[in-house]
Amino acid sequence: MKWNRYITPTVLSLTGYLLTAIIVLAMVVGVFHYIKGSSISISKDDRIDVTPNQIASIKNIAEWEFLSINDEELVDTVRRGFFGDDELVRIYYGTLRLGINLNKAEDDWIKVEKDTLICKLPPIELLDENFIDEAQTRSFFEEGKWNAKDKQRLYERARTMMRKRCMTKANISTAEENAKEQFSKMLTSIGNKNVKVTFEE
């Protein structure tokens, strides 16, 4: 009787330990099979999106100049008279600035397509219509009486001539190339490896 009372608790204790070990082993095997059946994939993303704050900062500059052209025009006018002709010849100087105005850009002017940042700029335009420097305007030859309206008409002719001479396809193309180069460098410098700059039609 003493032997039975002594053995029974020990057997029960061993059985408990054994059962606990089996449960722990089953859990370990289950976790091992779960990990073995799973896979981990690591990929590198080289794209860094431009943040809304960066887009706003670029757009807030509004006017971007990419080509500056200095021009001068000699303009004359003659007024015929019974006793003789009146003549006015003036020289006008101007600086025409070609560039873009980002206030005219589309809402999605800058966006990401796959791994490429697409930047669509508004068309090249003349940034300032008042490009003639009136302080440098000189009368080359003046004979007779000429009033302010006469001189204003000459001024408008000079402005038209300058615009026609400078707003050529070649100059617009040069301004576009400068814009593409500058925007590509800027957007690349803030972390975008693939950048494509285009213009609105």
**What does the pLDDT look like over 64-88, one tens digit per residue?**
999 999 999 999 999 887 777 899 9
Question: In 3-state terms, the chain is what percent helix, strand and coil (to 5)?
Answer: 45, 30, 25
What's the chain's Rg over C-alpha atoms?
40
Diameter of the chain by CA atoms? 158
* Euclidean distance between CA atoms 161 and 72, whole angstroms: 10
In this prediction, residue 114 carries a pLDDT of: 87
What pTM value is reported for the model?
0.70
Residue from 100, 98, 122 nearest 110 by CA = 122
Token output for 74: 């000699």
First-to-last C-alpha distance (Å) of the chain: 105
In this prediction, residue 26 carries a pLDDT of: 59
Q: Averaged in consecutive runs of 10 residues, what is the pLDDT profile of the chain (201 residues)? A: 46 54 59 47 47 78 93 94 86 97 92 91 96 93 92 96 96 97 92 91 82
In this prediction, residue 25 carries a pLDDT of: 64
Residue from 116, 180, 129, 136 nearest 156 by CA = 129
Contact 67, 87 (CB under 8 A): no
In this prediction, residue 106 carries a pLDDT of: 92
